[in-house]
Amino acid sequence: MNGKRVFITGSFQGIGLGIATVFAREGASVVLHGLGDETVVANAETQVKSAGAAKVESFVSDLKDSLATEKLIAQILEGGPIDILVNNAGIQHTATVDQMPREKWNEIIAVNLSSYFDTMRLLLPPMAARGYGRVINIASVHGLVASVAKSPYVAAKHGVIGLTKVAALEYASSGSRESGGITVNAICPGWVETALIQPQVQARVEKFGGDHLAGIADLLSEKQPSGRMSSPLDIGELALSLCGNSAHNITGASIPIDGGWTAQ
Protein backbone atom coordinates (compact mmCIF):
# COMPACT_ATOMS: atom_id res chain seq x y z
CA MET A 1 0.00 0.00 0.00
CA ASN A 2 2.99 2.33 -0.24
CA GLY A 3 1.90 5.37 -2.21
CA LYS A 4 -1.80 4.62 -1.73
CA ARG A 5 -4.17 6.98 0.09
CA VAL A 6 -7.18 5.42 1.81
CA PHE A 7 -10.24 7.23 3.16
CA ILE A 8 -12.29 5.37 5.76
CA THR A 9 -15.55 6.79 7.06
CA GLY A 10 -16.41 6.18 10.70
CA SER A 11 -12.83 5.30 11.56
CA PHE A 12 -12.15 6.84 14.95
CA GLN A 13 -13.14 3.56 16.62
CA GLY A 14 -14.48 0.05 16.02
CA ILE A 15 -14.32 -1.66 12.65
CA GLY A 16 -13.21 1.50 10.88
CA LEU A 17 -10.22 1.97 13.17
CA GLY A 18 -9.31 -1.70 12.77
CA ILE A 19 -9.33 -1.30 8.98
CA ALA A 20 -7.27 1.89 9.24
CA THR A 21 -4.71 0.10 11.41
CA VAL A 22 -4.25 -2.71 8.89
CA PHE A 23 -3.76 -0.31 5.97
CA ALA A 24 -1.37 1.77 8.08
CA ARG A 25 0.70 -1.35 8.77
CA GLU A 26 1.13 -1.72 5.01
CA GLY A 27 2.38 1.86 4.62
CA ALA A 28 -0.72 3.58 3.27
CA SER A 29 -1.57 7.21 3.91
CA VAL A 30 -4.74 7.12 5.97
CA VAL A 31 -7.57 9.65 6.07
CA LEU A 32 -9.60 9.12 9.23
CA HIS A 33 -13.13 10.41 9.65
CA GLY A 34 -15.96 10.40 12.14
CA LEU A 35 -17.60 12.18 15.03
CA GLY A 36 -15.76 12.59 18.31
CA ASP A 37 -13.98 14.96 20.63
CA GLU A 38 -10.28 15.83 20.56
CA THR A 39 -9.36 12.89 22.77
CA VAL A 40 -11.14 10.36 20.55
CA VAL A 41 -9.49 11.78 17.44
CA ALA A 42 -6.05 11.93 19.04
CA ASN A 43 -6.26 8.34 20.27
CA ALA A 44 -7.23 7.10 16.82
CA GLU A 45 -4.42 9.06 15.17
CA THR A 46 -1.88 7.69 17.65
CA GLN A 47 -2.93 4.10 16.98
CA VAL A 48 -2.77 4.52 13.21
CA LYS A 49 0.55 6.37 13.27
CA SER A 50 2.04 3.71 15.53
CA ALA A 51 0.94 1.03 13.08
CA GLY A 52 3.11 2.59 10.38
CA ALA A 53 0.96 4.93 8.29
CA ALA A 54 2.90 7.11 5.86
CA LYS A 55 0.61 9.99 6.83
CA VAL A 56 -2.50 10.42 8.96
CA GLU A 57 -5.20 13.05 8.49
CA SER A 58 -8.49 13.43 10.38
CA PHE A 59 -11.78 15.03 9.43
CA VAL A 60 -14.86 15.46 11.61
CA SER A 61 -18.19 15.69 9.81
CA ASP A 62 -21.77 14.44 10.02
CA LEU A 63 -22.60 12.23 7.05
CA LYS A 64 -26.35 12.81 7.44
CA ASP A 65 -25.84 16.11 5.59
CA SER A 66 -25.06 15.51 1.90
CA LEU A 67 -23.88 19.10 1.35
CA ALA A 68 -21.45 18.72 4.24
CA THR A 69 -20.22 15.49 2.65
CA GLU A 70 -19.57 17.28 -0.64
CA LYS A 71 -17.48 19.86 1.23
CA LEU A 72 -15.69 17.08 3.12
CA ILE A 73 -14.70 15.27 -0.06
CA ALA A 74 -13.53 18.53 -1.64
CA GLN A 75 -11.32 19.19 1.40
CA ILE A 76 -9.89 15.68 1.31
CA LEU A 77 -9.11 15.90 -2.41
CA GLU A 78 -7.16 19.11 -1.83
CA GLY A 79 -4.57 16.87 -0.20
CA GLY A 80 -4.35 14.50 -3.16
CA PRO A 81 -6.35 11.71 -4.80
CA ILE A 82 -8.06 8.92 -2.91
CA ASP A 83 -7.13 5.45 -4.16
CA ILE A 84 -9.24 3.41 -1.74
CA LEU A 85 -12.59 4.34 -0.25
CA VAL A 86 -13.94 2.34 2.66
CA ASN A 87 -17.51 3.24 3.55
CA ASN A 88 -17.89 2.08 7.13
CA ALA A 89 -19.83 4.73 9.06
CA GLY A 90 -22.98 3.40 10.67
CA ILE A 91 -25.52 4.00 13.41
CA GLN A 92 -28.13 1.73 14.95
CA HIS A 93 -31.41 1.91 16.84
CA THR A 94 -33.51 -1.11 17.73
CA ALA A 95 -37.30 -1.09 17.83
CA THR A 96 -40.11 -2.92 16.07
CA VAL A 97 -41.56 -1.40 12.90
CA ASP A 98 -44.57 0.05 14.73
CA GLN A 99 -42.35 1.53 17.48
CA MET A 100 -39.47 2.83 15.31
CA PRO A 101 -39.38 6.66 15.47
CA ARG A 102 -39.62 8.14 11.97
CA GLU A 103 -36.61 10.37 12.62
CA LYS A 104 -34.51 7.30 13.47
CA TRP A 105 -35.45 5.77 10.13
CA ASN A 106 -34.31 8.94 8.37
CA GLU A 107 -31.03 9.14 10.29
CA ILE A 108 -30.08 5.49 9.82
CA ILE A 109 -30.85 5.51 6.09
CA ALA A 110 -28.91 8.77 5.69
CA VAL A 111 -25.74 7.53 7.41
CA ASN A 112 -25.80 3.82 6.57
CA LEU A 113 -26.86 4.10 2.91
CA SER A 114 -27.13 7.60 1.45
CA SER A 115 -23.67 8.64 2.66
CA TYR A 116 -22.21 5.63 0.83
CA PHE A 117 -23.85 6.87 -2.36
CA ASP A 118 -22.49 10.39 -1.80
CA THR A 119 -18.88 9.35 -1.31
CA MET A 120 -19.01 6.94 -4.25
CA ARG A 121 -20.51 9.41 -6.71
CA LEU A 122 -17.81 11.92 -5.80
CA LEU A 123 -14.77 9.61 -5.68
CA LEU A 124 -15.37 6.96 -8.33
CA PRO A 125 -14.94 9.26 -11.37
CA PRO A 126 -11.40 10.40 -10.44
CA MET A 127 -10.49 6.79 -9.63
CA ALA A 128 -11.65 5.74 -13.09
CA ALA A 129 -9.64 8.53 -14.69
CA ARG A 130 -6.47 7.12 -13.07
CA GLY A 131 -7.29 3.49 -13.89
CA TYR A 132 -7.11 2.26 -10.29
CA GLY A 133 -9.58 2.46 -7.45
CA ARG A 134 -11.15 0.37 -4.74
CA VAL A 135 -14.45 0.91 -3.01
CA ILE A 136 -15.15 -1.35 -0.07
CA ASN A 137 -18.58 -0.95 1.49
CA ILE A 138 -18.96 -2.35 4.98
CA ALA A 139 -22.43 -3.85 4.83
CA SER A 140 -23.45 -6.56 7.30
CA VAL A 141 -24.98 -9.99 7.50
CA HIS A 142 -28.10 -7.84 7.76
CA GLY A 143 -27.59 -6.97 4.12
CA LEU A 144 -28.18 -10.66 3.39
CA VAL A 145 -30.63 -11.75 6.09
CA ALA A 146 -32.94 -9.94 8.51
CA SER A 147 -33.39 -9.71 12.26
CA VAL A 148 -36.30 -8.33 14.22
CA ALA A 149 -36.35 -4.76 15.57
CA LYS A 150 -33.81 -3.48 13.03
CA SER A 151 -35.96 -2.36 10.08
CA PRO A 152 -34.01 0.76 8.98
CA TYR A 153 -30.63 -0.91 9.58
CA VAL A 154 -31.59 -4.02 7.59
CA ALA A 155 -33.14 -1.91 4.82
CA ALA A 156 -30.00 0.24 4.60
CA LYS A 157 -27.63 -2.72 4.52
CA HIS A 158 -29.67 -4.48 1.83
CA GLY A 159 -29.50 -1.20 -0.07
CA VAL A 160 -25.71 -1.05 0.31
CA ILE A 161 -25.39 -4.44 -1.36
CA GLY A 162 -27.61 -3.35 -4.25
CA LEU A 163 -25.69 -0.09 -4.62
CA THR A 164 -22.41 -2.02 -4.58
CA LYS A 165 -23.56 -4.23 -7.45
CA VAL A 166 -24.74 -1.31 -9.59
CA ALA A 167 -21.51 0.66 -9.15
CA ALA A 168 -19.43 -2.45 -9.79
CA LEU A 169 -21.17 -2.95 -13.12
CA GLU A 170 -20.88 0.70 -14.10
CA TYR A 171 -17.11 0.78 -13.48
CA ALA A 172 -16.18 -2.81 -14.34
CA SER A 173 -14.44 -1.90 -17.61
CA SER A 174 -12.44 1.01 -16.21
CA GLY A 175 -8.69 0.61 -16.06
CA SER A 176 -6.83 -2.60 -16.85
CA ARG A 177 -5.19 -5.61 -15.24
CA GLU A 178 -1.92 -3.70 -15.20
CA SER A 179 -3.36 -0.57 -13.61
CA GLY A 180 -5.55 -2.58 -11.24
CA GLY A 181 -8.93 -1.46 -12.52
CA ILE A 182 -11.86 -0.21 -10.47
CA THR A 183 -13.64 -2.63 -8.16
CA VAL A 184 -16.57 -2.15 -5.81
CA ASN A 185 -17.27 -4.79 -3.18
CA ALA A 186 -19.14 -5.24 0.07
CA ILE A 187 -17.98 -6.97 3.24
CA CYS A 188 -20.73 -8.42 5.40
CA PRO A 189 -19.59 -8.92 9.00
CA GLY A 190 -21.52 -10.91 11.57
CA TRP A 191 -20.77 -10.36 15.26
CA VAL A 192 -17.68 -8.18 15.66
CA GLU A 193 -16.17 -7.01 18.94
CA THR A 194 -17.10 -3.31 18.86
CA ALA A 195 -18.86 -0.75 21.02
CA LEU A 196 -21.91 -0.91 18.71
CA ILE A 197 -22.94 -4.31 20.07
CA GLN A 198 -22.07 -3.70 23.71
CA PRO A 199 -25.70 -3.12 24.80
CA GLN A 200 -26.66 -6.53 23.37
CA VAL A 201 -23.63 -8.18 24.98
CA GLN A 202 -24.33 -6.56 28.33
CA ALA A 203 -27.92 -7.78 28.33
CA ARG A 204 -26.69 -11.37 27.93
CA VAL A 205 -23.98 -10.92 30.55
CA GLU A 206 -26.60 -9.78 33.06
CA LYS A 207 -28.71 -12.80 32.15
CA PHE A 208 -25.81 -15.00 33.30
CA GLY A 209 -25.16 -13.11 36.50
CA GLY A 210 -22.22 -11.08 35.21
CA ASP A 211 -20.41 -13.94 33.46
CA HIS A 212 -19.02 -12.15 30.40
CA LEU A 213 -17.91 -15.26 28.49
CA ALA A 214 -21.20 -17.03 29.11
CA GLY A 215 -23.11 -13.99 27.91
CA ILE A 216 -21.14 -13.78 24.66
CA ALA A 217 -21.49 -17.53 24.08
CA ASP A 218 -25.25 -17.26 24.52
CA LEU A 219 -25.46 -14.34 22.09
CA LEU A 220 -23.39 -16.12 19.44
CA SER A 221 -25.26 -19.41 19.80
CA GLU A 222 -28.35 -17.91 18.19
CA LYS A 223 -26.68 -16.84 14.96
CA GLN A 224 -22.94 -17.51 14.55
CA PRO A 225 -22.09 -21.24 14.38
CA SER A 226 -18.36 -20.72 14.86
CA GLY A 227 -19.02 -19.47 18.38
CA ARG A 228 -16.34 -16.83 17.86
CA MET A 229 -16.60 -13.10 17.25
CA SER A 230 -14.50 -11.43 14.60
CA SER A 231 -12.18 -8.57 15.52
CA PRO A 232 -12.02 -5.24 13.67
CA LEU A 233 -8.57 -6.27 12.45
CA ASP A 234 -10.09 -9.35 10.79
CA ILE A 235 -12.32 -7.07 8.74
CA GLY A 236 -9.28 -4.95 7.87
CA GLU A 237 -7.34 -7.95 6.60
CA LEU A 238 -10.20 -8.92 4.28
CA ALA A 239 -10.47 -5.33 3.02
CA LEU A 240 -6.74 -5.25 2.35
CA SER A 241 -6.92 -8.45 0.31
CA LEU A 242 -9.35 -6.76 -2.10
CA CYS A 243 -6.98 -3.89 -2.87
CA GLY A 244 -4.09 -5.51 -4.73
CA ASN A 245 -3.92 -5.57 -8.52
CA SER A 246 -4.49 -9.34 -8.43
CA ALA A 247 -8.03 -8.61 -7.19
CA HIS A 248 -8.89 -6.66 -10.35
CA ASN A 249 -11.67 -9.12 -11.27
CA ILE A 250 -13.26 -9.36 -7.83
CA THR A 251 -16.07 -6.84 -8.12
CA GLY A 252 -19.74 -6.68 -7.21
CA ALA A 253 -19.18 -9.28 -4.49
CA SER A 254 -20.78 -9.39 -1.06
CA ILE A 255 -18.39 -11.32 1.17
CA PRO A 256 -19.64 -12.61 4.55
CA ILE A 257 -17.26 -12.83 7.48
CA ASP A 258 -19.80 -14.28 9.86
CA GLY A 259 -18.73 -17.66 11.22
CA GLY A 260 -21.32 -19.44 9.07
CA TRP A 261 -24.30 -17.23 10.02
CA THR A 262 -25.56 -16.79 6.45
CA ALA A 263 -24.70 -20.36 5.42
CA GLN A 264 -27.57 -21.69 7.53
**Exactly one of 116, 132, 153, 171 is catalytic; which is it?**
153
- Residues contacting residue 224 through CB under 8 Å, at least 6 positions apart: 190, 191, 258, 259, 260, 261
Give the Cα-Cα-Cα angle 235, 14, 6 (nearest 5 degrees). 60
251 contacts 168 by C-beta, under 8 angstroms:
yes
Is 153 one of the annotated active-site residues of the chain?
yes
Catalytic residues: 153
